[in-house]
Amino acid sequence: MAIIKPMSDLRNKSNEITNLVKKSREPVFITKNGEGEMVLLSIPQFKQMEAKIELYKKLAVAEMYVADGDKGSDYKLVVKNIKKKLGKKK
């Protein structure tokens, strides 16, 4: 469920809001005059969101290659190469 707090709470209860962001592990939406103003995230939440965005970008590129006719690589060959790079046999 969305956590929504007024700007006055951010101003007057910043420690409480900070703890809420960290403990809830959810974004906290800050409103000003009843309208959405900003979203607060903890650093780990932000990094996770950035990682997802980066993954989506890579998937979009892969989908573009497929749309252009690229057949990709054989799964077994890819796994074999990864294991080789990691120093594992078979």
Residues 29 and 57 in one domain: no
Structural domain harbouring 17:
3-41
Q: Give CA separation, 40 vs 5, 11, 29, in Å.
A: 10, 13, 6
CA triple 79-85-88, angle to 5 deg:
75
pLDDT tens figures, 36-89: 999 999 999 999 999 999 999 999 999 999 999 988 888 899 999 999 999 876
Rounded to whole angstroms, how far apart are CA atoms 28 and 3?
A: 5
pLDDT of residue 21: 96
Residues 79 and 51 in one domain: yes
pLDDT (average), residues 9-37? 95
CATH number at residue 13: 3.40.1620.10
Number of domains comprising the chain: 2
pLDDT of residue 1: 80
Spatial CA neighbour of 50 closest among 9, 58, 80 = 58
pLDDT band at 90 (very low <50, low <70, confident <90, very high): low
Spatial CA neighbour of 41 closest among 17, 59, 57, 15 = 17
